Each structure stands twice: as structure tokens, then as C-alpha cells.
Structure 1
Amino acid sequence: MADEEHTKPAARSFLSCATEVARLLDLGDAAAVPEARRARYLAHAVRKPLPERAHLPEEFFEPLLTAAVHDPDPSFCRWFVEPAVYAFGRRRVMAALLVHLRTGTDAEQAGAKRAWYCAHVPLRADRSPAYAPGGSRDPELDESRDVMAEWREALSRPAV
């Protein structure tokens, strides 16, 4: 019972995150789905339309990263991270995850660590024309060595 109560706030938080991403995609709120399964249902619903979009408006950035950080399943947070990497760049995504690592709650820090792994997704030409040989993506969007160094430094600091 204590474990169930411990996960309820995290589940509600992920539900609100998944609901916001679904709202941005005009997918509806899935009110007919039982609340216990609604967050995962919405996460599945956004899985297909997100990668199909060539570009995402700025308003998607925070909701995608927040959903990724709050997704309790490390296998699925990639559904939010990968579209953010393609749309906004690996550097920006990693920098946002670094902020969650440094300033987030324990749960957000754990979520940032799960999402960090997904932020290393290979960038493929078949996923975005910007990565094709004649693509026009600014390489600075994906340059992240300095952010990775900051991440390692943050991990090496003792918890306060």
C-alpha cells in the first residue's frame, strides 16, 4: 500500500504531462479511459504523430521534456525525447535535462537520468531530411560535448 501511495503523485504528474502533449497535438483528453491507464494511453497516442511532424512549434519543447522526465517507464520516455532532439537539437534537450538533474526533485532527477540516455538517439536522414547528405541543419544544434561534461560533473557532486 505504501508503494502504491508513493507512486500516485508521480503517476498524476505524468498524466498531466501526457495530457498537455496530447492537447498540443489536438488528440483529445481520453476522458473515457480509466484514470489508472490514461497517462500510458495518451503517451501511446502521441507516439505516432510526433515523429511524423517535420517541425514542432516552440510551445512543444517544455511539455515534451517535462513528459520525458516524468514518464515512469524508461523504455517509453524516448517517445518524448526523440522528437524533441530532432525538432530542437540534442544540445538544447541535454541542457534542459541538466537543469532537471541539478534542480529537480529526486523523482525528476531520476527521470532526467532516464531521458538523458534517450537523448543520445542516433540522428538519421530517413527520420529528418535535415540529416541527409544535402541537409541544412545547423551542426551547433547537436554539438553537446560541453553539456555532457557538465552532466558528468553534476553527477560527481555529492547529494545535498
Structure 2
Amino acid sequence: MADGEHKEAEAPTFLSSAAEVARLLDLDTAASVPEDRRARHLAHAARKQLLERASLPEEFFAPLIAAAVYDPDPSFCRWFVEPAVYIFGRRRVLATLLSYLLTGTDAEQAGAKRAWYCAHVPLHADRSPAYAPGGRRDPALNEARDLVDRWREYAAVPDRIEA
């Protein structure tokens, strides 16, 4: 097998990313669900549990962002982005998406663009237990103006990113 074929075979997919999030949540792997619907099934099963958590271990961050980036449906990638923003902070999520934009494959760049849009979800204390009592939250978790500026600067150069 050529190197390019080997890398492609190991490349993450939406199914592998959603399955990793489900595994971390200790959810059923949905083996009885047809493979073409399994990723969406796992995403749906994980969604509510993710939003109900006040915190998640560090090991969740990369799989959540990968699932958001590899989700082919821009309407649903929010299921992974939103809990990541609430728990790990908008700044960290945007920094990781910017990294996908700068160094990712064409598919990863497209996925990062979809997820970037979702990462700007308005945050509400009553939506997530990730907020401290009284609706308080460290503002540094969400300060991302410099990242937004970098995204705009990079995306404005047409030969770097396709429109």
C-alpha cells in the first residue's frame, strides 16, 4: 500500500469520531444500526448527555472537535461544537478550528468552516450546567477576538482557502 493510501485509510471519519465520543460516554455502539446511519445515530444518542454535563474530561475535547469537523451536515455539527464551547470555552474551540483551517485537508478545512459558524452559538447559563451557580463563567474562556481576526485574515486570501 502506498503512503497516500495508508494515510487515507487511517484518516478520521465522521463515524469514527462519533463512535469515539460515544465510547467515551459509554454509550451503545449501535452495531445493529446500518453503517450509513450509524454515525448520525451515535451523534443523536450523545447529544443530550453532552449538554447535560457540567464538565468533561480532557480526553473528550479532540473527539468532539473531530466529530464536528467531519460531520458532513452543517445543521448537525453543532451537536458536538456546542458542548465543547460550553465546557472547554469558545477560545479553545476556535483555536482548534483555526488550526484545521490552516493545516487541514480540503475536507477538514470545509468542516472547520461549518463548525466555525456553529462555534459562535450564543451562550446561556440556563442552557448548560457548565456555568457556575449564579450564571458566572470565566470570561477568558470565550475571549477570541484575536482568533476571529486571524480567521478573517487567512480566509480573505483566495489562494489559501476556496470560497
TM-score in terms of structure 2 length: 0.86
Q: Which residue of 2 aligns with 1:58?
A: 58
**Which residue does 2:67 correspond to in 1?**
67
Whichever residue aligns with residue 38 of structure 2, its letter is: R
Decide whether aligned partners of structure 1 residues 56 and 72 sit closer, same or farther in structure 2, where only a CA change above 3 A counts. same
Residue 158 of structure 1 deviates from its aligned partner by: 3.4
Query: In the alignment, what sits opposite 2:111?
Result: 111
Measured after TM superposition, the shift of residue 25 of structure 1 is 0.3
Unmatched 5+ residue regions in structure 1? 1-8
The count of aligned residue pairs is 150
Q: Which residue of 2 aligns with 1:121?
A: 121
CA distance in 2, matches of 1:146, 1:84: 19
Where structure 2 has 5 or more consecutive residues not aligned to the other structure, the ranges are: 1-8
Q: Deviations over 1:29-51 (max 9, x none)?
A: 11111111111111111111100
Alignment of 1:17-32 (within 5 A): 17-32=17-32
Instruction: Give the CA deviation at 1:127.
Output: 1.6
Distance across 2 between alignment mates of 1:67 and 1:110: 13
Farther-moved stretch of structure 1 (52-61 vs 77-86): 52-61
Q: Residues 31-78 of structure 1: CA distance to partner in whole angstroms, max 9, x if unpaired?
A: 111111111111111111100111111111000000000000000000
Shift of 1:132: 7.1
Q: Give the aligned partner of residue 5 of structure 1.
A: none
CA distance in 2, matches of 1:127, 1:21: 21
| Alpha-carbon distance in structure 1 between the residues aligned to 2:20 and 2:100 | 19
Determine the structure 1 residue equivalent to 2:149: 149
How far is the alpha carbon of 1:144 from its aligned partner? Answer: 0.6
1:33 alignment counterpart: 33
Q: Which residue of 2 aligns with 1:90?
A: 90
Runs of 4+ with >4 A deviation: 129-133
Q: Give the TM-score, by structure 1 length.
A: 0.88
Closer/same/farther in 2, CA of residues 120 and 27 from structure 1, 3 Å limit = same
Once the 2 structures are TM-superposed, how far is the Cα of residue 133 of structure 1 from its aligned partner? 8.4
Q: Which amino acid aligns with 1:58?
A: E
Q: What CA distance in whole angstroms lies between the structure 2 residues aligned with 1:156 and 1:133? A: 41
